[in-house]
Amino acid sequence: MSQPIADRPLMQRAFGHALDYLDALPTRFAGAPVTRKELRDVLAFPLTEQGEDGAAVLDAIAVHAARGTQASAGPRYFGFVIGGTYPAALAADWLVSTWDQNPGLFVISPLVSVCEEVAQEWILDLLDLPRESSVGFTTGCQMAHFTGLAAARHGVLRRVGWNVEEDGLYGAPSVNLVISEEAHITVDVALRYLGFGARAAHRVAVDDQGRMRPDELRRHLATLTGPTIVCAQAGGVNSGAVDPFEEIADLAAEHGAWLHVDGAFGLWAQASPKYRHLTKGVERADSWATDGHKWLNVPYDCGIAIVRDSAAHRTALGSRAAYLVQTAGAERDPFEYVPEFSRRGRGVPVYATLRHLGRNGVADLIDRCSSHARLFAKLLAKDDRVQILNEVVLNQVLVRFGNDDDQTRAVISRVQQDGTCWLGGTTWRGQAAMRISVSNWATGEEDVERSAEAILRVAAK
Ligand SMILES: *Cc1c(COP(=O)(O)O)cnc(C)c1O
C-alpha cells in the first residue's frame, strides 16, 4: 500500500493560516516591524537529524508572517510597484502548486499548456498587440526583457547574415543598443545577460516627465549604422510616464531597428478605453515585456514576454533534444518561449484572472488604480508644504515635502513607522521624493483617504 499523498489535517492547517493572513491584511501594520535578529532567533539553528512534524514546521513559519512580511498584498501598500492578488488568481495558483506540473512540454501538462495558449490569445486581444505574436510566461519583467531582447538579438543579426545562436557574439557585427536615460535597471541587466554589456547602450535624453525625447532619439540614430535595437518604455517606474510611441516607432522603422518595449505595468493602459490614448502606437513595436504580478494582480511570480516574430522568439529561446522531439512542433510547447526549461504553470492564474475579470474588469482595475493615484495627489496637494512632482497620468505619484530632501526622507521614514500605509522613496531629477504606486485591486477610495491623512499627519509633526 502506498501512503496517502494528501495530509488533510496539515493542508487544512495551511489553509487556515492562509485565510487568517488574508483576513488581517486590511487592518494590520502595513510594514514588517521585525528585525533580522528576531527572526534568526526563532528560525535559525543547526538542521536536526530527525526532522520535525510538518504541522509544527508550518506553525513555526506562519506565526511570524504577520510581522515578518510587509502587507504588500493589502489595500494600503503603495511601495515599489507591487500588485496584490485577486482571490481567483490565488486560488488558481494554489491548484498549480498542488498539481506540481512541469508545463515545459505539452505532453507533460496538456491542461496548463492550453490554459497558457488561451491566456496568450486573450492577452494579445486585450492589449491589442499583433495577433500573430507569441507569448512566454516568465518569472518577471526582468526575464521578459531577456526573452524579448534575445529575440531582438536574433532578429537584427539574422538580417545581416549572422547566426548568433550557433556562432555567438565573438566576431559578430556589432549591435547598436539605444535605450532611454530613464530605462529600468532590468533592461541594463538583460543587456548584460545577453553579452552586450550595459555600458554599450546609447542613452537617449528624456523630457521633464521622463519620456524619451524623439528629437534626441533621431539624433542618436543618425550617428548609427548596422543592426540596431531601440528600447522604449510604457510606464516609467517613478513618474509612470509613457514614451511617445508613434514617433519612436516611425524613427525605429526608418532606421530598420527592432523596437522593444518595457511595459512592466504601463502596457496595461492598452486594456482601458480611457487610458489607451497614452500608449498609442505601442502595437507597432517588435517585442514587449510586461508583468502579471504587478498590475494584473496575480501572485508572484509572473512576467509576460511577447514577440511579434514568433519564429525569432522560438529560435532565440527554444531547445532541441532527441528525447523532446516526440512533441516539438505538433503542439505549442511552452518551453520554446521562455528562458527556463522546467518551471511552474504560472500562466494558469493569468488565465483564471482574465476569465474572472473579463474585458470590463481589467479596464475597471486600470481606471480605478489610476483615479486613486489622482485622488492621492489631490488630497496631498491641499497641504501647501507638499509638491506633486509629476503629471499623474497613470498609477504613480511623486511627492516632495517642504521642497527639501531631508524633510522628504524623514516623512517617508515616519510614514513607514506609523504603519497605516507603506511607501518608499526615490530620487527624481536630482531631488528626493516619496513614491506612491497604486497597483492593488483591493485599494478603495477610503484607503487612499486614510493613507493621505496619515501622511499629512506625520508630515505635520
Ligand atoms: C518592475 C519593473 C521592471 C522589472 O519587473 P520584475 O517583474 O520585477 O522583473 C521593469 N521595468 C519596469 C518599468 C518596472 O516597473
Closest to 390 measured CA to CA, from 233, 184, 183, 237: 237
Does ligand 1 lie within 6 Å of residue 265's CB atom?
Answer: yes
Which pLDDT does position 437 carry in this prediction?
98
Confidence category of residue 461, pLDDT binned at 50, 70, 90: confident
**Ligand 1 atom with the shortest distance to the CA of 144:** 9
Given a cut of 90, whether residue 327 has pLDDT beyond it is: no
Tell if the pTM clears 0.95, that is, is over it: yes
* Ligand 1 contacts CB of residue 141 (under 6 A): yes
Residue 325, pLDDT > 60, answer no
Q: What pLDDT, on a 0 to 100 scale, did the predictor assign at position 323?
A: 65
pLDDT band at 2 (very low <50, low <70, confident <90, very high): confident
Per-residue pLDDT at 328 exceeds 90: no
Side by side, which strands form the sheet with 424-428? 386-388, 396-401, 431-437, 424-428
Cis peptide before 301 (omega within 30 of 0): yes
- Find the radius of gyration of the CA atoms of the chain: 23
Distinct helix (H) and strand (E) counts, the chain? 15, 11
Ligand 1 neighbourhood includes 290 CB (under 6 angstroms): no
Q: How far is the CA of 305 from the centre of ligand 1 (A)?
A: 12
Whether the predicted pLDDT of 204 surpasses 80: yes
* Element (DSSP H or E) covering residue 412: helix 405-418
Q: Does the C-beta of 126 come closer than 6 Å to ligand 1?
A: no
Answer positive or negative: Cα dihedral of 152, 154, 159, 160.
Answer: positive
240 CB within 6 A, ligand 1:
no
**Tens digit of each residue's pLDDT (9 = 90 or more) over 22-41:** 999 999 999 999 999 999 99
> Which amino acid is residue 194, in one-letter code?
L
Give the closest residue (by CA) to ligand 1 atom 12: 264
Taking residues 4-27, report their average pLDDT.
96
Average of per-residue pLDDT across 233-259: 98
In sequence order, the 6+-apart residues with CB closer than 8 A to the CB of 382 are 456
Return the ligand 1 atom nearest residue 293 CA. Answer: 7
pLDDT of residue 321: 64
Summarize pLDDT for 333-353 with one digit per residue, the tens. Answer: 999 999 999 999 999 999 999
Residues facing residue 258 across a β-bridge: 229
Give the torsion sign (CA, 117, 121, 122, 123). Answer: positive
- Centre of ligand 1 to C-alpha 265, Å, is 8
Q: 4 or 443, which is more confident? A: 443
* Whether the CB of 300 sits within 6 Å of ligand 1: no
Assess whether the C-beta atom of 235 lies below 6 angstroms from ligand 1. yes
Residue pair 146/190 in contact (Cβ under 8 Å)? The answer is yes
Distance CA(210)–CA(290), nearest Å, equals: 19
What are the φ/ψ torsions at residue 87 (nearest 5 degrees)? -50, -40
Measured over all CA atoms, what is the biggest interatomic distance in the chain, rounded to whole angstroms?
74
Angle at 406 between CA 403 and CA 411, to 5 degrees: 85
Mean pLDDT across the stretch 362-390? 98
- Cell digits for 230? 531601440
The rounded Å distance from CA 322 to ligand 1 centre is: 36
Residue 270 has pLDDT above 80, yes or no: yes
Does any ligand 1 atom lie closer than 6 A to the CB of residue 336?
no
Predicted confidence at residue 241, as pLDDT, reads 98
> Strand 303-307 vs strand 134-138: parallel, antiparallel, or unpaired?
antiparallel
303 lines ligand 1 (CB under 6 A): yes
**What does the buried/exposed string (b/e) look like for 303-319 if buried means 16 or more CB atoms within 10 Å of the residue's CB?**
bbbbbbbbebbbbbbbe
pLDDT value of residue 324: 62
Angle between helices 445-460 and 347-381 (to 10 degrees): 50
Calculate the average pLDDT of the chain: 96
Q: By percentage, how much of the chain surpasses pLDDT 70?
A: 98
- Residue 431: per-residue pLDDT: 97
Cell numbers 493589502 label which residue? 74
Percent of the chain having pLDDT more than 90? 95
Query: DSSP characters for 14-37?
Result: HHHHHHHHHHHTTTS-SS----HH
